[in-house]
Structure 1
Amino acid sequence: MIEFNVKSVFFASVLAAILLGCNSGEPSPSSRSKNLQKFVAVTQIVEHPSLDATRQGIQDELAAAGLKAGETLKWEWESAQGNPSTAAQIANKFVGENPDVIVAIATPSAQASVAVARNIPVIFSAVTDPIGAKLVNNLEKPGGLVTGVTDLSPINKQLDLIQEITPTVKRLGVIYNSGEANSVSLVDLLKIEATKRGLTVVETTANRSSDVATSARSLVGKVEAIYIPTDNTIVSALESVVQVGFDNDIPVYAGDTDSVKRGAMAGLSFNYYDVGRQTGKLVLQVLNGENPGDIPVKSVEELQLLINQKSAKEMGIKIPEFVLKKSHSNY
């Protein structure tokens, strides 16, 4: 009889504790941590050094604020491998997962995300022309749930560099993907500014990475230099353009500095890791409760000049000493 009463008291105590826990309104420590963990989903149109550096900068900026991927932050990242249709699939997948913020790196991924993320903030990065890409209507007051960082290339300063190193160039070749809105905007701007300087821009397009080598070879005999804009398709196959430059003594200039490390002769642009860090700051603002539509679109001010002297020699060019003195790094 006593044994029965002891067991009854024990089970009653356990039941009471369970009921008390259920009615307290306080989640367990593990579930509380899980519920409060922020979720950032990152979509990137293709993998190449500039965009990868952007992504790393975002991740490091969040980590510096205490949001470490896999620990205090749920971080999901996917690449569309250069395919806009895949970018759309990724965007729809992320919307279904309902993250706190979607970060879209490069124009096609940003367009895909903004098109479907009606109630989820979207922060874009490395987008050349946010207005032309129809991501926002106003850079100062984006409105809605969208803002980000633009990487509009400093075309005038890049043309200055081309004319400083190769002053005899009159015909400048440019290879781009006509399906990328950012590239079309850049080439239009390039033609306007080049015309003012008496330069002729010779265009050729490649809408797939596998077409880049053929497009580069089509410029041989038509141009004295080649300029590669911040076009994701072309940059992903940069080495094939560089090889054409080597084989035909044609200097290859890049619209991004990471391409200089891969063989382009010279590049004046932003450090894309810094672009990522700046993007990460916007993500933190939104995670802390700010409305992205009230945050102005940011641009990058600081430029870096990189020179690849080995490539210059292979392309038959001697870099002037005054240009070398201005460069941040030589390869």
Structure 2
Amino acid sequence: MKKKLLAVLLTAVTMTAMLTACGEKASDGYTIGISQFAEHGSLDNCKEGFLAGLAEEGIKEGENLKVLFDNAQSDTGTASTIADNYVSQKVDMICTIATPSAMSAYNSCLNTDIPVIYTAVSDPVEAGLAGADGTPAGNVTGTSDALAVSEQLEMIRKVLPEATKIGIIYTTSEVNSVSAIEEYKKYAGDYGFEIIETGINTIADVGMAAADIVTKVDCITNLTDNTVVSALQTVIAEANNAGIPVFGSEVEQVKAGCVASMGLEYYELGKQTGKMAAKVLKGEAKASEMNFEVISQPSLYVNTAAAEKINLALDDTFVSSAYEKFDEIIVE
């Protein structure tokens, strides 16, 4: 009897070891697939913040968390393939960084019980991830990096009191950018501005679009458009040649050469997302029951070196009021 019991126990242990070796979730661990749409600083910061938020809740990579990571390199088809692959591996959760990846994962997980937690989605409602009241469209929730449009326009007016036309380059297939354009048009008149927009399809279009738009405007303001941000240096180079400033939408763009931004801290946005994800993984809440969240307040970031490059004088009071100031341009 004892020998039979021992044999059963040994068999159970062996099967558990085999399942774990084959990638099945261990009883005390989780597997998360992280799908990032593009490769640039702000989205990278989201990823790092997401993992930090999980760690603060006791879910740590290498201990009780296995992370699968893929970057779609700004290609929506690749984003869909990544999401489908995570579903086939039966991960415990998919974290998506940026709108196209979030939409792809949502569609891939529709007939599964895998929760999707997104971050850096500017307009979850327009993307079909949430209802107008913020309620999830399914087993999906996360955080929004909705632009502080009014605050950005007010800041630009302080820097350029005589300006009348603001240029925006955006990707026509990114719903987050399309909705942001509408927000800018809605509020621009309140600050005496006209919005001149140029739509692109791929990253190859950015150079021509930038060369054209700098001849028509007093400045450029960036969105959190993944394709355009991936080619930010192309935009800045054309603007510098024309002697006009480029304003960013978050801190990494300012570090890289934009003059200023009323922007978000994407590391903190990612951390906030990680804490939401931890609740779902621990069974404390369901993604389908959690409204998406928005980071509280934008902050002013200023790059004096970027201003000097185009001989733009910034008011000392304006510079001193910045949450963070940079005196060099850092291009990674």
TM-score strictly above 0.5: yes
* Partner SS, residue 87 of structure 1: helix
Contact 1:256 1:268 in 2 (8 A): yes
User: 1:123 matched to which residue of 2?
Assistant: 117
Q: Which has the larger radius of gyration?
A: 1
Q: Measure, in 1, the Cα distance between the counterparts of 2:303 and 2:141.
A: 35
Structure 1 residues 24, 319: CA separation in 2 closer, same or farther (over 3 Å shift)?
Answer: closer
Contact 1:139 1:297 in 2 (8 A): no
Aligned positions of 1:67-86 closer than 5 A: 67-86=59-78
Q: Which amino acid aligns with 1:34?
A: A
Structure 1 residues 160, 288: CA separation in 2 closer, same or farther (over 3 Å shift)?
Answer: same
Aligned positions of 1:133-212 closer than 5 A: 133-142=127-136, 144-212=138-206
Q: Deviations over 1:135-163 (max 9, x none)?
A: 12244432521111011100000000000
Deviation of residue 98 (structure 1)?
1.2
Size of the alignment, in residue pairs? Answer: 320
Structure 1 unaligned segments of length 5 or more: list them: 1-11
User: 2:311 matched to which residue of 1?
Assistant: 316
User: 1:4 matched to which residue of 2?
Assistant: none
Deviation of residue 15 (structure 1)?
6.4
Q: Which amino acid aligns with 1:195?
A: G
Instruction: Say if 2:245 is the partner of 1:251.
Output: yes
Structure 1 residues 18, 186: CA separation in 2 closer, same or farther (over 3 Å shift)?
Answer: same
Q: Which amino acid aligns with 1:200?
A: E
Deviation of residue 33 (structure 1)?
8.3
Q: Measure, in 1, the Cα distance between the counterparts of 2:136 and 2:12.
A: 45
Q: Measure, in 2, the Cα distance between the counterparts of 1:101 and 1:200.
A: 43
**TM-score normalized with structure 1 length:** 0.91
Deviation of residue 17 (structure 1)?
2.8
Identical aligned pairs, as a percentage? 32
Q: Which amino acid aligns with 1:251?
A: P
Deviation of residue 214 (structure 1)?
1.4
User: 1:7 matched to which residue of 2?
Assistant: none
Instruction: Say if 2:256 is the partner of 1:262.
Output: yes
Deviation of residue 23 (structure 1)?
7.2
User: 2:329 matched to which residue of 1?
Assistant: none
User: 2:6 matched to which residue of 1?
Assistant: 17
Over aligned residue pairs, what C-alpha RMSD do you find? 2.3
User: 2:293 matched to which residue of 1?
Assistant: 298
Mean CA deviation greater in 76-85 or 131-140: 131-140
Q: Which amino acid aligns with 2:315?
A: P
User: 2:88 matched to which residue of 1?
Assistant: 96
Deviating beyond 3 angstroms after TM superposition, the runs of 4 or more aligned structure 1 residues are 12-16, 19-28, 30-33
Structure 1 residues 249, 20: CA separation in 2 closer, same or farther (over 3 Å shift)?
Answer: closer
Deviation of residue 220 (structure 1)?
2.6
Mean CA deviation greater in 57-66 or 247-256: 57-66
Deviation of residue 95 (structure 1)?
0.9
Structure 2 unaligned segments of length 5 or more: list them: 327-332
**One of 33, 36, 39 as aligned partner of 2:28:** 36
Q: Which amino acid aligns with 1:50?
A: S
Q: Measure, in 2, the Cα distance between the counterparts of 1:170 and 1:193.
A: 13
Contact 2:37 2:98 in 1 (8 A): yes
Contact 2:167 2:214 in 1 (8 A): no
* Partner SS, residue 161 of structure 1: helix
Q: Which amino acid aligns with 1:94?
A: Y
